[in-house]
Amino acid sequence: MKKPLVDPVPAMTVLACNKSNHNNSQVYISPSQAPAAVMTTHNANYPSASGQIEWEIEHGNTDKVTFFIGSQLLQPEFKTDRTFIDEQKIA
């Protein structure tokens, strides 16, 4: 039996730790890595955002933020120039 060129266990571990999808179009970042313009707009529009706030960049030009306001889970989307795109209410 031929041995695979890449050991699947370490490869799967690296992919799982990356926290991005298989085509690298979505990357999770820390708030300190969010574009300043987007952070300013987010803070102005959602001053009562709470809980764990997750930032992600999609396709290199769109920022999504996921957070709670009360018991409502929200996910607004911005262009990197801070233009608001839309808002999804998740829960």
- Residue-level pLDDT at 11: 34
- 79's tokens: 């262009």
- Residue-level pLDDT at 4: 46
pLDDT tens digit sequence for 5-55: 444 443 333 333 344 444 557 889 888 888 888 888 888 999 999 888 899
pLDDT tens digit sequence for 45-91: 999 998 888 999 888 788 999 999 999 999 999 988 888 899 999 86
Contacting residues for 91 by C-beta, under 8 A, at least 6 apart = 71, 72, 73
What pTM, to 2 d.p., does this model score? 0.63
Q: Quote the CA–CA distance of 24 and 20 in Å, as a whole number.
A: 6
Q: Which residue has the higher pLDDT, 43 or 1?
A: 43
- 8's tokens: 């699947």
The residue type at 37 = A
Burial 29-67 (b: 16+ CB within 10 A, else e): eeeeebbeebbebbeeebeebeeeeebbbeeeebbbbbb
